[in-house]
Amino acid sequence: MISTFAQAGWLRYASPKPFYRLAGRMIPGFAIAAILFVMPGIQIALFVAPTDAVQGDVYRIMFVHVPAAWMSMLLYVVMAAYAGLGLVLNARLSAMMARAIAPTGALFTALALITGALWGRPAWGAWWVWDARLTSELILLFLYLGFISLHGAIDDTRRADRACTVLALAGVVNIPVIYFSVQWWYTLHQGASLSFGSGVSMDTSMLAGILVMTLAFWCYAIAIVLVRVRRIIDEREF
């Protein structure tokens, strides 16, 4: 596997300096893609998707809430994977990528919690309940903030990378808890919007809106993480 990558010349991008140039070339593409996805995403979310029979139009918060929640979990897994790779392979860029992902992951987690509260108030009559899904998502925010704070608190960056890796890997256990919490416990939060087992139980335009907004957030996250990792490479390598 590694030799295949090496033959293709991709392994050199595991080194910060070549990756710095590659990231610089990739940022405009992902930024433009994010804009191109977010425009039809908003169009579908606000004007194309039908009004919900029970909740009215307020359910449209789903089009930012669900993609933000998905991104919060996905980014944590990617961050932990990079951190783990950095520990196992002793690769510098992996630790830098993990550090670059953390603030964006924290932001998406905060957005998922805030938009969830704004949806919960009209739907449940409460901004917040200590339900398994909400509480595990809040723990995810604390894990991100812990990762960022721990890195900032240790002066030696290599020690900071190792300490943060341990925290990131330990926190991975929270991701299946978030995802399956609505199945494992009786919660006020609704079931998964998209389930691999039971398929999709929503209108096609609603599903399209969620997927397009997710793609937009995905491209946005890649672009902003690449901008941030270039600054980290600037700090640590040059």
What three-state secondary structure class fits 173?
A: coil
Contacts of 67 (CB under 8 A, 6+ apart): 210, 213, 214, 216, 217
> Is residue 163 a contact point for another protein (CB under 8 A)?
no
Q: How far is the CB of 185 from another protein (least distance, A)?
A: 26
Q: How far is the CB of 204 from another protein (least distance, A)?
A: 16
Cβ neighbourhood burial of 198 (10 Å; 0-12, 13-18, 19+): exposed
Give CA–CA dist 41/208, Å, rounded. Answer: 8
Interacting residues with another protein between 24 and 43 (CB under 8 A):
42
Contacts of 221 (CB under 8 A, 6+ apart): 71, 75, 104, 108
Give CA–CA dist 103/148, Å, rounded. Answer: 7
Give CA–CA dist 83/85, Å, rounded. Answer: 5
Contacts of 209 (CB under 8 A, 6+ apart): 41, 44, 45, 48, 49, 63
Interacting residues with another protein between 98 and 117 (CB under 8 A):
103-104, 107, 110-111, 114-115
Q: Given the complex with another protein, which of 8 and 198 has the nearer CB atom?
A: 8
Q: Given the complex with another protein, which of 65 and 133 has the nearer CB atom?
A: 65
Binding span for another protein by CB under 8 A among 51-59, 168-176, 178-186, 190-198: 51-59
What is the DSSP-derived secondary structure letter of residue 45?
I
Give CA–CA dist 59/186, Å, rounded. Answer: 22
Binding span for another protein by CB under 8 A among 63-71, 128-136, 137-145, 147-155: 63-71
Interacting residues with another protein between 200 and 229 (CB under 8 A):
220, 224, 227-228
Structure tokens at 152: 């900032």
Q: Which of 22, 33, 77, 91 binds another protein (CB under 8 A)?
A: 91
Site string for another protein, 143-162 (x = CB under 8 A): ---------------x----
Q: How far is the CB of 119 from another protein (least distance, A)?
A: 7
Q: Which of 130, 186, 196, 238 binds another protein (CB under 8 A)?
A: 238
Give CA–CA dist 116/32, Å, rounded. Answer: 28
Contacting residues toward another protein, per CB under 8 A = 11, 14-18, 42, 46-51, 55-58, 60-61, 64-65, 68, 89-92, 103-104, 107, 110-111, 114-115, 118-119, 121-122, 158, 220, 224, 227-228, 230-231, 234-235, 237-238
